[in-house]
Amino acid sequence: MKYIYVLLLNITMVLVSLTSCGQARQEDTKTATVMLQQNTVIGIIGSGNVGGTLGEKWAKAGYKVLFSSRHPEELTDLVKSAGNGAEAVSVEEAAKRGEIIVLAVPFMAEATVSKQIQPFVKGKIVLLCDNAYPGRDGAIAEEAKRVGVAYYAQQHYYPEVALIRAFSSLPIATVARATASNPVKIPYAADNDRAKAIAEELIRAANGTAEYVGKIADSRQLDY
């Protein structure tokens, strides 16, 4: 009797462990479908406080980062500190080779930047970190702030990309301080599932916890 009881207990344990193993494998596959590849190339336009901080985090998380500037020769220290094969390149090259493009420039520069990178970004994921301030960016900032900076950019500069709005609503120093064990909440907006999945992965890799707030047209709350 005791033998049968032990046998039944063992069979139950094996069944339970097989079921949870199957579930774990299913979850792994589900995660794998939304995860970026580690060698995904992220092209950063504007490698100042925001672009530099995010790029370093992503390089350390395993992504290939292309930092760009109008003076890429001045980015030597940043590239070295980021590691993982990061490079300093021209704005056009970052847009051309980047599979995901990150915009982190003063908003007034977008009139020029969007024309420069337009041939290379069609259909790509573009993450817009810029904010718009009338005192810094001129009259265009008033208009952009009225409708929402990301919505304005989507309508006027980037109609043919899958836009993500994130990292705009909090000081970048807060993101810089975040760690995997002490993440910071990062609200974001995007229009489709692919952009949402990639936004969540970029936020996670920057030690953030993603919080979806809605579509680009409703992302004015993320302007700072």
**Residue 47 touching ligand NAP (CB under 6 A):** yes
Supply the minimum distance, in Å, between the C-beta of residue 77 and ligand NAP. Answer: 13
- 3 state DSSP class of 46: coil
Q: From the list 42, 50, 59, 189, which residue makes contact with ligand NAP (rule: CB under 6 A)? A: 50
Instruction: Point out which span in 7-15, 117-125, 127-135, 205-213 binds ligand NAP (CB under 6 A).
Output: 127-135
Supply the minimum distance, in Å, between the C-beta of residue 12 and ligand NAP. Answer: 54
| Residue at token pair 């920057």 | 206
Q: Which is nearer to ligand NAP, 35 or 183 (CB)?
A: 183
Q: Alpha-carbon distance 21 to 163, whole Å?
A: 37
| Contact predicate 44/94, CB 8 Å | yes
Strands across the sheet with 41-45, in order? 87-89, 64-68, 41-45, 100-103, 125-128, 162-165, 184-190, 208-214
Instruction: Point out which span in 29-37, 125-133, 157-165, 201-209 binds ligand NAP (CB under 6 A).
Output: 125-133
Q: Hey, how many other C-beta atoms are within 10 angstroms of the C-beta on 165?
A: 33
**Residue 178 touching ligand NAP (CB under 6 A):** no
Q: Which is nearer to ligand NAP, 47 or 207 (CB)?
A: 47
Nearby residues of 159 by Cβ (< 8 Å), 6 or more positions away: none
- Residues of this chain that bind ligand NAP (CB under 6 A): 45-51, 69-71, 91, 104-107, 109, 112-113, 129-131, 168, 171-172, 224
